[in-house]
Chain A
Amino acid sequence: MTEILALDGLVKRFGSRTILDGISLNVSAGEIVCFVGPSGTGKSTLLRCINGLEDIQGGRISFEGQAVQGNPSAIRAVRKRVGMIFQHFNLYPHLTALQNVMLAPVVVHKEAKAEVEARARALFDKVRLAHRINAYPAEMSGGEQQRVAIARALCTNPHLLMFDEPTSALDPETVGDVLTVMRDLALEGRTMLVVTHEIRFAADVGTRMVFMDQCRIVEQGDPRAMVAGAQTERARKFLGTIHG
């Protein structure tokens, strides 16, 4: 499998506080890597470093062979190929669902409107929101907004999708809709990084689980095997508490 993302000794500090302390990780095309771990261990920060929303203080990140550091145009080139889905959706409130999805392809990728619209409409079918296409974010439930956010990320044909706790701001009854869409994406063979507390989803869908604690990767491996019995004490304890 072709390697798509490589992290090598990544270090992230906020001021004098170290948040990520030497993270190394390689991700191949088609992998679904689920990140789990206690709050505040730097999972969100890790994703944000990968698309350059945070600068890094040490190590290397390369995406499809291109370094994600330094000059803004290189960072933007990477961002064009990486889709990000946020915990709080971050839909643009002044645009309809359809306009949200179409904005970046038209503005950033300079694609023809008609083409983008056809693709966007197909994506709304995929996320099962064809009927909400002209709604504004304020008129939609959290689950609907998050599915629009997924469509928005997909519409630029990204090579990698990053999800930061996509379901933890949702009402319990809408979590399922979002997870269903994510399962579909997994079946299509998309490459995904998913920070989540949904251990069952990670075990079912993930191809790899990465357990992080205190700024480091403590253990990684097959999700089902780790849920059944992790190697390290800390991972066992964490997966036990969150699962039971």
Chain B
Amino acid sequence: MMQYWPLMLKSAGTTLWLSWLAMLLGALGGTALALLRQIRFAPLRWVVIGYMEFFRSIPILIVLFFAFYGVPLLLEVDISPFVAATLALALHASATMSEVVSAGIASVGRGQWEAAAAAGFSWPQTMRHIIAPQALRVILPPSVGVFITTLKESSLASIIGYIELTRTGLLVRDSTGGGFLPLLALGAVYFVINYAISQVGAALERRLHIGRRSDLVGAMA
């Protein structure tokens, strides 16, 4: 078992890389969706809400199956397990992130928009200079949670044969003649990574709340 630790740690890196990439794409997509939702045009809003509800109501596993087995049939392209996993994770993360970002934007009071409009800011200027900096404080802590979720979901990539942390754990189990110790070790690696990230998130949250001084919140007045 000991000789396999380097392998496990290396594949933990693979898992982190996959999750990070999916999270990045998901955050970008989620932000775009949240901004689209801001536009006062009902059909557009329905589309965004429909997208969110759709991805919140189907398991990521069937998205993964579809991306890996279905898309190649549909579009006659080859899709690697890595691309399929990244796609499925990112789609799912974008739906969650759009909600997180929407809540962040909503947390900034109407008064800020009115003050910015009164000072002659355009919509993009208001978003960029007034709303985003305030919303970000609300958005960051739950985003850490979304990242942890994505990291755990990335274990599903093992089902379509992508060799990340979970697949490696299963392979190690096979080559050491079964037993559940390799699986315990596998769980422990995930736990340590996720627990560490959650602690960083908690620290971040404390930081952001302590920093909530009135001169920051009321800067435009």
Q: Do chains A and B touch in the complex (CB under 8 A)?
A: no
